Amino acid sequence: MLSIFSTSRFAPFNIAAEEYILRSFKQDVFMLYINNPSIIVGRHQNTLAEINQDWVILKQIPVVRRLTGGGSVFHDPGNLNFSFLMHDAEETTRSFERYTRPVLDVLNDLGVNAILEGRNDLTIGGRKFSGNAKTNAFGKTLQHGTILFSSKIGDLSAALKVKPFKFNDKAVKSIRARVTNVSEHLLAPLALEDFVGLVRSKVHSLYPDIEEYSFCEADNAAIHTLVKEKYDTWEWNFGRSPNYNISHELRCNAGIIELYLQVDKGIIQEIKIFGDYFSSRETSELEKALTCVPHRREAISEVLQRMDYRSFFGDVDLENLLSAMF
């Protein structure tokens, strides 16, 4: 087994690294990484229904779709992420206990009563500090999880604060739980880097043949290629969302504008616009122009400006109109 601590804090890189390891490494791998602020959505989720898009745009937060299912999570420098990438493909049929046990053992050794609760959550006093997910990919098992150690819980809430009633879809929905940081329950202060050392030591004690490994130049190049072609693309992170409908009512100086969109594989298949606004042009012209356009802010903005959106609606702010379509 190899033990890797990723030096990158770029979420698309670390999520891509998991796929690269599954595809390319002959050895089992234990990996730890810490990301800068980012949102990681589950494989089968509607990304837009999981995130607070206005906050994400304001903070320039990367949003990345991972290989595993489950719900969305917020990462920041106070959050430690661990992955087991194993050749035992049958592991996906078993519980989450095996690969969360080392984390629980470390915390129990520190005097924290942490347990595996439900199917895949680690909790302290009924409050969640770790969500875990797994899948079988490329003939191997990937099980990974988060550990909220000293995260900014306010940012977590802001990043994932959405209005799900806007969306009608069959995508997997995140279940929001009361969360807590591990640091709040420690008997004595402990730095995150020291906690990382304890987790690594525990895992290393369970796998006596484990060896330290750092990504070489060829590894980094291959991972960056995967980032560029997949994990940092709109097509994967947003366009791969299950089909969904979205409806929203915008109240503005022009009046009330009602928007109804049907989106398939990230592409607007149909859009209907209603309201009590005064228009000098037929709204059907704009509906036609927006049909078959990616449900992507930049793409829609380009069409609205090219079509002179104010000639359809009157006094409406472009950013407000765009926000109403997401």
Instruction: Name the β-bridge partners of 247.
Output: 260
Chain center to CA of 302: 27
pTM of the predicted model as reported, rounded to 2 decimal places: 0.85
278: its two tokens? 């005064």
290: its two tokens? 């927006």
Please state the length of the chain: 326
pLDDT at 225: 98
pLDDT at 114: 97
Rounded to whole angstroms, how far apart are CA atoms 207 and 9? 26
pLDDT at 88: 81
Question: For the stretch 93-110, what's the b/e string if a residue is b when 16 or more beta carbons lie within 10 angstroms of its beta carbon?
Answer: eeebeebbebbbbbbeeb
pLDDT at 267: 95
pLDDT at 298: 95
pLDDT at 89: 63
Rounded to whole angstroms, how far apart are CA atoms 34 and 196? 10
pLDDT at 53: 87
Element (H, E) at 101: helix 97-109
**pLDDT tens digits, 136-159:** 989 899 999 999 999 999 999 899
Question: Domains of the chain: which residue ranges?
Answer: 2-237, 244-323
pLDDT at 119: 85
pLDDT at 131: 93
CATH superfamily of the 244-323 domain: CO dehydrogenase flavoprotein, C-terminal domain (3.30.390.50)
Per-10-residue mean pLDDT of the chain, 326 residues long, equals 98 98 97 97 90 91 94 95 88 79 97 93 95 92 96 91 65 74 96 97 96 98 98 95 90 90 94 87 94 96 96 92 92
Strands 79-86 and 140-148: antiparallel
pLDDT at 279: 77
Rounded to whole angstroms, how far apart are CA atoms 93 and 64? 26
pLDDT at 49: 86
Rounded to whole angstroms, how far apart are CA atoms 194 and 176? 29
pLDDT at 254: 85
- Domain 2-237 carries which CATH code? 3.30.930.10
pLDDT at 162: 65
